[in-house]
Amino acid sequence: MGHRRTQLANRSLELQKLNQQQDAQLDLTDAALNKPSKNMDTYQKLFNHNTEFFSTYNPDMIEEAFIKCLRKEKIEPKVNKNKYKITFTKLGKDEMVTDEEIEDNVEICMRLLHAESEKKVCIEFTRLNGRKTTFFKLFENYKNDILKFANDTMLDAK
């Protein structure tokens, strides 16, 4: 019985040493904490869609906040595991037609892209399906309300 206790004590001591080594290797610098956990595509301004804005926030924070908001609205997004890409369908009804209800669903893709310098992220929304007017209303809502905290910088003009 005493031999068993000695083995348990030695194992606990080994686990403590291992945990201490791992803690010593934990990098708590700003660069390490702000490093994205997924791959990021590079932002290229090819077309002037005006459905993007820029942020200095960590892309993981932006993605997490947006997914939480969608789920609060009972929308289950498709989240890419390798890069910052979220697709979802926002269900709605046409507000202009009063006598009959017409579905006004919009399928949207949100991507987080590496912009200009390592300190900026482009938050880009693309309409995959649905009405443009409804998409633009939703984009303005996401930009000015839901992700307002992240809309904190501009892309430098060149």
What architecture is domain 37-150? 2-Layer Sandwich (3.30)
Q: What is the pLDDT of residues 51-90, one digit of tens each?
A: 999 899 999 999 999 999 999 999 999 999 999 999 999 9
pTM over 0.85: no
Q: What is the pLDDT of residues 3-30, one digit of tens each?
A: 666 665 566 666 666 666 665 554 545 5
Given a contact cutoff of 8 angstroms between Cβ atoms, the answer to whether 57 and 68 are in contact is no
Q: Where are the domains of the chain?
A: 1-35, 37-150
Q: Is 74 left (phi over 0), alpha (psi -120 to 50) or beta?
A: left
